[in-house]
Amino acid sequence: MLGEKKMSKTKVKEITIPDKLMGYTQVRLDVNLTDGTITESTIPKEYCRDWIGGYGFGAKVLWDELKPGIDPLSPDNIFVWAIGPFPTTLLPTSSKYGVFAKSPLTGFFGMSISSGSIAAQARRAGVNLIVIKGKSPTPVYLVIDDDERYLKECGDLWGKSCWETEEIIKNEFNDQRIAVMEIGPAGERMSRIACITNDRNRQAGRTGMGAVMGSKNLKAIVFRGTKGVKVAHPVEFYKKAKKLNKVAVGPATSKYRDLGTPAGLTSYNKLGMMPTFNHREGTWEKIDEGPITPEELNEKWVAKKCACTGCPIACDHLARVPKTHPDYPGIVSSVDIELVYSYGTGTGCYDWPTIFKCIQISDNLGIDGISGGVTAQMACELYDLGIITKEELGYELPFGSTKNLVRFVKEMALGEGFAGKIFGDGTKMAGIRLEEMGKKNASFYGMNIKGLELPAFDLHGMSSFAVGESVSIRGACHLRNGAYGLDAKGTFDRFGYDKPLERGKAIIKLEDTYSIIDSFIICKFTRGIYEGNAELAEVYELVTGIPMTEEYLMKRAEAITTLSKCFNIREGATRKDDHPPPKYFKEAHTKGPAKGVTLKEDGFQKLLTGYYKARGWDEDTGIPTDEKLKELELDFVIDEMNKARANKK
């Protein structure tokens, strides 16, 4: 039983699986859009135990089934949808799903995770994993209505915005709680920064997963489930869920509940880590003095805080513009710090309704709010430097724009005008296109890593997170490892480059926990409510019935992270791809705590080597060693890694 198991440290090989798994349905659906067939198969129990769900499932399917080197926007790409064993249960924040494909934005491992009601409905409908291949001859949407699974012609739905799509489908099914995840016009036109929206304000935003749906002529996936969900150890689980739900409304999550993530505006601004003006600076007087403060946002604009299915925190801060506003009367937008950064501090805009409007356009027309905003920041800086002009854009776009920023964002989402044509696929493509036009050095102002636009951290004075973001599998990202905490909390010298191995180990510890969180899938805002990873193993066992130990779970986390790294290597990624944007090395802040500081190339490389070394990957190439791959039971990737090594030579 549970108590006994915890006392002995279970070895990897000793994890036995009960006859019947709970939590998992083990149902995999294969949807062939080219010929319209849908087949069901059973996911083996060992596969569930070893790849857990979500991220793990995505990494394994993409490694096993995606042909290397394909065009991510061609029918050869594979769109994977996955959940873990927890949705619909009382495990806090467990209604989360992940989507995975080769990213059209980065060319590497693409993944994005969203919340809302999708995973809970899907779990009750009985699906664990959906693998979508090919391309539909006409626009369709996929319906998972309990055991009825079918493709439906889109008709007039194609061309509709995200919110319209949700409303039309809900009315069509005469069910206001049916769950719909859809793409907007941006996804339809295969914008490389297209997102997937569900429940209006929840997005699988990053790495262009909406473009992959669009490339397959897949407008939406609809989920409705009516089957009850049992867990392996109901009484113990109920007790545990009660405890976790209580802790989840305690100090560990107060930031997310009260001021919301925008609380970080103040704290990161004080540290010179809050990117402003396309990462030229890390501080801003509009944050010190207002109006861009978390307090002003909450007191003046937030009308309601909402929750996703099964979430006790309710971080969703809905801001409402009064009906009397001349430009954006009555709009309601879901605001978090990333979007206040991307459309606000990064573009120098300090007009709240403008920021809300930009968020609304992103969510509704279907572009990732972070990538969209950072692309707008790039445009503002290029305009400021005279690299792009009013004549080209059709309007002015200095830092601090309001109406013109909204115009730019709309054109970018819809692919219209100069803004759409040049900037409609994110910063990397914008740089390439502008340089092709003879505008030298334009790419320098695109703040991305591996092509994915940076989240709300300015890396000038963040030497640990410079590594953390650079090694992130999907490109610049704060959600693959929370290594920003190492800089913010002063765990290491954030302006220096000492202790490379220790830093590497610290990043890995965070990263592996995040890989479990992304495989379960639960929300990272609950990462502080567990008594370490052992409790994550415990809830896994209570729900699934698979005896689980922290040791085994963390070994699987390492395997999942390493496998997705191997995916990137198979797609041609090298050490050079694990690198922050050049701006951080060349242009320093002119004020604030990181004034005069730039990242140092040799220092950064030293820390990167430390990370590779701590991972058991080759110190020069970052390719996992045979020894490590065998230890992680990833023998099946060794041939491909040997090929990559040979190419290197």
Among residues 72, 312, 373, 592, the one that binds another protein under rule CB under 8 A: 312
Q: Least distance in Å: CB of 162 to another protein?
A: 12
104 alpha-carbon distance from chain centroid: 14
User: What are the angstrom distances between the C-alpha of 518 and each of 94, 487, 515?
Assistant: 11, 23, 5
Q: Which is nearer to another protein, 117 or 207 (CB)?
A: 117
Using rule CB under 8 A, residue 549 touches another protein = no
The window from 85-93, 402-410, 531-539, 584-592 that contacts another protein (CB under 8 A) reads 85-93
Which of these, 74, 599, 75, 190, lies nearest to 429 by C-alpha position?
Answer: 190
Helix (H) or strand (E) holding 431: helix 427-436
Q: Give dist(CA 575, CA 312) in Å, integer.
A: 41
Q: Where are the alpha helices (DSSP H) in 134-188?
A: 162-172, 185-188
CB of 463 closer than 8 Å to CB of 495: yes
Q: Which is nearer to another protein, 120 or 466 (CB)?
A: 120
Among residues 320, 595, 600, 613, the one that binds another protein under rule CB under 8 A: 320
Q: Which is nearer to another protein, 363 or 425 (CB)?
A: 363
The window from 40-48, 75-83, 240-248, 529-537 that contacts another protein (CB under 8 A) reads 240-248
Structure tokens at 543: 């729900």
Q: Give dist(CA 625, CA 620) in Å, integer.
A: 11
Using rule CB under 8 A, residue 321 touches another protein = no
Helix (H) or strand (E) holding 325: none
CB of 127 closer than 8 Å to CB of 24: no
Using rule CB under 8 A, residue 9 touches another protein = no
Q: Least distance in Å: CB of 526 to another protein?
A: 12
Helix (H) or strand (E) holding 237: helix 234-247
Among residues 306, 432, 534, 638, the one that binds another protein under rule CB under 8 A: 306
Q: Least distance in Å: CB of 346 to another protein?
A: 26
Using rule CB under 8 A, residue 318 touches another protein = yes
Q: Give dist(CA 88, CA 117) in Å, integer.
A: 9
CB of 263 closer than 8 Å to CB of 294: yes
Using rule CB under 8 A, residue 203 touches another protein = no
Q: Give dist(CA 237, CA 243) in Å, integer.
A: 10
Q: Least distance in Å: CB of 316 to another protein?
A: 8
Using rule CB under 8 A, residue 310 touches another protein = yes
> Pairing mode, if any, of strands 218-224 and 140-145?
parallel
Using rule CB under 8 A, residue 304 touches another protein = yes
Query: What residues contact residue 98 under an 8 Å CB cut-off, 6+ apart?
Result: 54, 55, 57, 58, 81, 82, 83, 111, 112, 113, 114, 204, 518, 521
Using rule CB under 8 A, residue 161 touches another protein = no
Q: Least distance in Å: CB of 354 to another protein?
A: 19
User: What are the angstrom distances between the C-alpha of 200 and each of 127, 190, 262, 391, 395?
Assistant: 23, 20, 20, 36, 31
Q: Which is nearer to another protein, 316 or 453 (CB)?
A: 316
Q: Which is nearer to another protein, 22 or 434 (CB)?
A: 22
Which of these, 427, 497, 503, 516, lies nearest to 471 by C-alpha position?
Answer: 503
Using rule CB under 8 A, residue 342 touches another protein = no
Using rule CB under 8 A, residue 235 touches another protein = yes
One character per residue 31-70, x = contact with another protein (rule: CB under 8 A): ----------------------------------------
Using rule CB under 8 A, residue 432 touches another protein = no
Among residues 303, 385, 437, 501, the one that binds another protein under rule CB under 8 A: 303
Please state the length of the chain: 649
Q: Which is nearer to another protein, 131 or 229 (CB)?
A: 229
The window from 57-65, 86-94, 481-489, 625-633 that contacts another protein (CB under 8 A) reads 86-94
Using rule CB under 8 A, residue 200 touches another protein = yes
Q: In what order do the strands lie in the sheet with 79-82?
A: 37-42, 27-32, 129-133, 79-82, 97-102, 109-114
Among residues 26, 88, 293, 519, the one that binds another protein under rule CB under 8 A: 88
Q: Least distance in Å: CB of 296 to another protein?
A: 19
Structure tokens at 536: 């994550």
Using rule CB under 8 A, residue 543 touches another protein = no
Q: Which is nearer to another protein, 120 or 193 (CB)?
A: 120
What residues make contact with another protein under the rule CB under 8 A? 88-90, 117, 120, 124, 176, 200-201, 226-231, 234-235, 238, 242, 245, 248-249, 303-314, 316, 318, 320, 332
